Structure 1
Amino acid sequence: SIEYFEIDTENLIVQDNQKIGTTAIDASAPYVNFGSVSNKGVDFLISYADESSSGLSYEASFNLSSYKNEVTALVNESPTAGYSGYRGGAVTRTQVGQPISSFYGRRVTGLDTNGRFTYAEVDGTPGITDGDRDFIGSPHPDFTWGLNLNLGYKNFDLSAFFNGSQGNDIYNYSKIYSDFPTFFNGNRSVRVLNAGTGIQPALSESISNSETQPNSFFVEDGSFIRLKTLQLGYTFDDAIIQKAGLSGLRIYVSGANLFTITDYDGLDPEVVGRGAQTIGVDEGIYPQARITTVGLNINF
């Protein structure tokens, strides 16, 4: 099946981080009527099930979803800044005509002889200015997908679920702490072993250098493929379990998040932001645990 959708959301309610005073360190941003957003896309689903003459049953279903997000109106008619960490400016920008929570900053072009970032001059004027900031990534994927597989043979059953995302970016804010830590002797990422080689920025004791300001160094491809769940089970014959006074007995072993294929350097590519203006911002989220379970289903 194929389904096309158009969803227009008006008076979207979000937290406005720009309304927090600089002295209100622990204050939460107030909720405001933000603006309007349009989502247009396609959902696709295909399923197949059959059983062979040998008793092997199998079923597969695949779904894919793709959408385009666009901000169509803002209450104050001006671009709105999103998440701002204490060691950098706002990393997202919401603007009419752009996807909500787009990443905004300077585009890194390389490293200079001192091991510092060099940036693209967007506005055409000499030197690095605020006008050189631009949209540097989007947290919205080209498409997301899921695949369900089920097999059954005699008393055995096997099920698996894969899911993935393709084409979305992640702002890896955690690299500010791992690659540019506050304390000089603090723990660092192994990436800093390449510092000064033309691959990684030079080390610095300063926490106020420009490297931690929003830029494309922190924007990474968030595409991934994950085996979300896998389960193998065995159901005992009635002739066996009825002797024990049972009406049903099944033993199974299952696993969750068994493997993930991704180029993302962070702990987990399935990033959940704080709100509508922090989509795709990884502040060092705790990764989804790999879980193995052995269980029994008993019916009396």
Structure 2
Amino acid sequence: MPSISGVYKTQEGRPINQLYVIKVDRIVRDQADLDYVQSLVDRNPDYFATFQRPELGDFLYADTNGDGSLDNNDRVEIGKGTLPTFTYGASLGLTWKDFDFSLLLQGVGNHQVYYNNQAFRFVTVMGQSLIKDITDNAWTLENPYNSKYPILRNNSNAKNNIASDAFVHNAAYLRCKNIQLGYTVPRNITKKVYISNLKIYASIDNLFTITKFPGLDPEVGADVGYPAVRQYSLGINLTF
């Protein structure tokens, strides 16, 4: 028997903690979509007994098993579990005369995570923020067809905020962990002031991150509370 805990499912022969959520069929954008919702009810008056009937701007969830009813049996497995499919890294070191350069890259590929917290959600909560992408692209009467997200309702009506694939994101990323440029002062200069070695360098941590993940930091996925800090350093290595 499978083990289900929240949005995760573990069963024999499948990845551990595979995401297990309901799928979004569409956003109900206009009267034609409302008529389609009514046709579902006409065929089965109890179609929305488990999940609330959508109105304009709401998500319509998918009857994935095709039994003519929308319920928890329509949830589907997504992704490869809580671990990314692969991780990778690369380092580069170059020297030219008295200069040296190093670069460290790190990333993961195909990492499906469930992200429904912090500022990424489809409800409004007094005193809390939402990311600009959601507020700019939520369904409204003025923007019914180009919206990416459903209508934003108060958190007392969270029917668009249930565990669905709308909150499943690929947290794949490529990050420049460190880049450094250094200059070693020639020995014939440093020996005049009784210095054995003198190196001056500049370093940057977390210079850039390439990702489509909407959260603050794809490296830790849905658990992050703060973005990765970009840090600039200037230093001197001195040996007498």
Q: 1:93 to 1:207 in 2, by over 3 A?
A: farther
- Aligned equivalent of 1:206, options 131, 155, 167: 155
- Aligned equivalent of 2:71, options 129, 135, 155: 129
- Aligned equivalent of 1:141, options 84, 100, 117: 84
Which residue in 1 is equivalent to 2:9? 93
| Residues in 1 aligned to 2:206 and 2:138: alpha-carbon distance in whole angstroms | 33
SS at match of 2:149: coil
Q: CA deviation at 1:259?
A: 0.8
Across the two proteins, how many residue pairs are aligned to each other? 206
TM-score by length of 1: 0.63
| Residues in 2 aligned to 1:207 and 1:93: alpha-carbon distance in whole angstroms | 28
Q: 1:181 to 1:137 in 2, by over 3 A?
A: farther
Which residue in 2 is equivalent to 1:291? 231
Which residue in 2 is equivalent to 1:181? 124
- Asked if 2 retains the 8 angstrom alpha-carbon contact of 1:167 and 1:221, the reply is yes
Q: 1:97 to 1:118 in 2, by over 3 A?
A: same
TM-score by length of 2: 0.78
Which residue in 1 is equivalent to 2:40? none
| Residues in 2 aligned to 1:97 and 1:262: alpha-carbon distance in whole angstroms | 30
- Aligned equivalent of 1:172, options 91, 105, 115: 115
| Residues in 1 aligned to 2:163 and 2:224: alpha-carbon distance in whole angstroms | 16
Q: CA deviation at 1:177?
A: 5.2
Q: 1:141 to 1:203 in 2, by over 3 A?
A: same
Which residue in 1 is equivalent to 2:204? 255
Q: Which amino acid aligns with 2:77?
A: F
Q: Which amino acid aligns with 2:24?
A: V
Q: CA deviation at 1:109?
A: 1.6
1:150 equivalent to 2:93? Answer: yes
Which residue in 1 is equivalent to 2:185? 236
Higher strand share: 1
Structure 2: segments with no counterpart, 5+ residues: 30-55
The CA RMSD measured in Å over matched residues stands at 2.1
SS at match of 1:242: helix
- Aligned equivalent of 1:117, options 48, 59, 62: 59
- Asked if 1 retains the 8 angstrom alpha-carbon contact of 2:183 and 2:200, the reply is yes
Q: 1:142 to 1:283 in 2, by over 3 A?
A: closer
| Residues in 1 aligned to 2:202 and 2:111: alpha-carbon distance in whole angstroms | 33
- Asked if 2 retains the 8 angstrom alpha-carbon contact of 1:175 and 1:218, the reply is no
- Asked if 1 retains the 8 angstrom alpha-carbon contact of 2:20 and 2:77, the reply is yes
Which residue in 2 is equivalent to 1:195? 138
| Residues in 2 aligned to 1:251 and 1:176: alpha-carbon distance in whole angstroms | 41
SS at match of 1:241: helix
1:222 equivalent to 2:180? Answer: no
Q: CA deviation at 1:208?
A: 4.5
Q: Which amino acid aligns with 2:20?
A: Y
SS at match of 1:162: strand
Q: Which amino acid aligns with 1:135?
A: E
Q: Which amino acid aligns with 2:151?
A: A
SS at match of 2:87: strand
